[in-house]
Amino acid sequence: MSLRLGDTAPNFQAKTSQGDIDFYEFLGDSWGVLFSHPADYTPVCTTELGKTAQLKDDFAKRNVKVLALSVDPLEKHLGWINDINETQNTDVQFPIIADEDRKVSDLYDMIHPNASETFTVRSLFIIGPDKKVKLMITYPASTGRNFNEILRVIDSLQLTANYSVATPANWVDGEDVIVTAAVKTEDIPGRFPKGHKIVKPYLRTTPQPNK
């Protein structure tokens, strides 16, 4: 059965470009991004892993560890990393899983037979420190991911994990947020002292509480 939001992310052990790992041990108390690639030495994947490496500091300041995967062997990963570093002007320092037996791909339902019977689609999972699946996005092999959106979603998830708020359409870090229905209107001033606006009884906004 495929994973759903709120499910516990399956643990696994795997060989990676940085040695053998246990997924839960790798994450520790951090947030995690696990994402798959159809194959090594492919153009879209090369740009994606390069962009991920370039965003190292952005992930680190959000306490996020990243982990990539493809079904190609470890030796192929190591050679490909050299190409990524050269063509994308970066330094890949995060591990890439060599999932030759498709164990992890099957655990996370990354192979969609109607798209490809052998290669993973572009699946991405955001996993919280509680090891629960917080977000899933699946792209076709031909479409590269928008990493600004991934960082935006992480900002939203981390904010809403700590405060009784939700984020509106196109929200970015620093903008007003929505007070959830769980907070009574009369309790808003005590919970959100920066002020609030009642657009409708069910739509109350407040400045981002952690800014």
Q: Are residues 30 and 116 in the same domain?
A: yes
Q: Are residues 51 and 135 in the same domain?
A: yes
Q: Are residues 86 and 175 in the same domain?
A: no
Residue 151 in any domain: the answer is no
Residue 5 in any domain: the answer is no
Number of domains in the chain: 2
The CATH number covering residue 127 comes to 3.40.30.10
Q: What b/e readout covers 166-193, taking b as 16+ CB neighbours within 10 angstroms?
A: ebeeebeeeebbbbeeebeeeebeeebe
pLDDT reported for residue 186: 96
Instruction: For residue 178, give its domain range.
Output: 163-206
Contacts (Cβ under 8 Å, ≥6 apart) of 149:
none
- Using the predicted structure, report yes or no on whether residue 114 has a pLDDT greater than 80: no
Contact between 179 and 165 under an 8 Å Cβ cutoff? The reply is yes
pLDDT reported for residue 110: 83
Please confirm, yes or no, whether 45 is among the known catalytic residues: yes
Global pTM reads: 0.92
- Using the predicted structure, report yes or no on whether residue 1 has a pLDDT greater than 90: no
DSSP conformational letter for 72:
S
Mean per-residue pLDDT for 157-176?
96
Selecting among 45, 141, 151, 159, the annotated active-site residue is: 45
> Beta strands 13-16 and 19-22: pairing type?
antiparallel
